[in-house]
């Protein structure tokens, strides 16, 4: 079985941070492999030169990083929305995987999830938390929806780690 994970990095980070804990990226990658049989994990995020340490850690944990250029948003906040990139790569890679694991809670992915389900290519949708998971996404996931918060004990970054 060849399953690919398509991870919206900012959505995952913000969703877990809103719960008041931190994700251990290595433990999360292992969880994706063991629970969802993920052989390739594509991690989408905006590129900022100041975050090279994070990018090296992600690569060291086995993620295939896909960068989006970051632009200055309103109020000079950096903006690097990866939704379109994630959807495009899920479609480009479609012949290469048996099932997709979409890691995000954003409603912008509902049409991708609908399509993958219709093609029998949706393995799971893994949203960071219940509170901020889109109703559109949960409807389109049709029973394939899971939550990272439910496996906190497996993927939480431990102090001193």
pLDDT of residue 37: 97
106 Cβ contact list (under 8 Å, min separation 6): 8, 11, 83, 134, 137
Q: Can you give the residue ranges of every domain in the chain?
A: 3-155
**Could you tell me the pTM of the whole model?**
0.92
Q: Provide the CATH number for the domain formed by 3-155 in this structure.
A: 3.40.50.1010
- CA angle (108, 8, 73) in 5-degree steps: 75
First-residue to last-residue Cα distance in the chain: 32
Q: What is the pLDDT along the chain (161 residues), one digit of tens a residue?
A: 899 999 999 999 999 999 999 999 999 999 999 999 999 999 999 888 889 999 999 999 999 999 988 776 676 666 667 899 999 999 999 999 999 999 999 999 999 999 999 999 999 999 999 998 999 999 999 889 999 999 999 999 987 55
Q: Residue 147's beta-bridge partner residues? A: 127
């Amino acid at each position: 079985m060849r399953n690919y994970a398509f991870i919206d990095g900012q959505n995952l980070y913000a969703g877990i941070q809103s719960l008041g804990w931190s994700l251990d990226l290595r433990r999360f990658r292992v969880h994706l492999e063991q629970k969802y049989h993920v052989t390739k994990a594509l991690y989408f995020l905006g590129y900022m030169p100041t975050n090279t340490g994070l990018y090296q850690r992600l690569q060291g944990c086995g993620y295939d990083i896909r960068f989006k250029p970051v632009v200055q948003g309103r109020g000079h906040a950096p903006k690097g929305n990866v939704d379109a990139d994630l959807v495009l790569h899920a479609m480009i890679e479609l012949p290469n995987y048996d099932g997709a694991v979409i890691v995000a809670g954003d409603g912008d992915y509902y049409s991708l999830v609908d399509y993958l389900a219709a093609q029998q290519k949706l393995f799971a949708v893994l949203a960071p938390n219940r509170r901020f998971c889109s109703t559109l996404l949960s409807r389109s996931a049709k029973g394939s929806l899971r939550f990272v918060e439910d496996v906190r004990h497996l993927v939480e970054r431990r102090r001193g780690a």
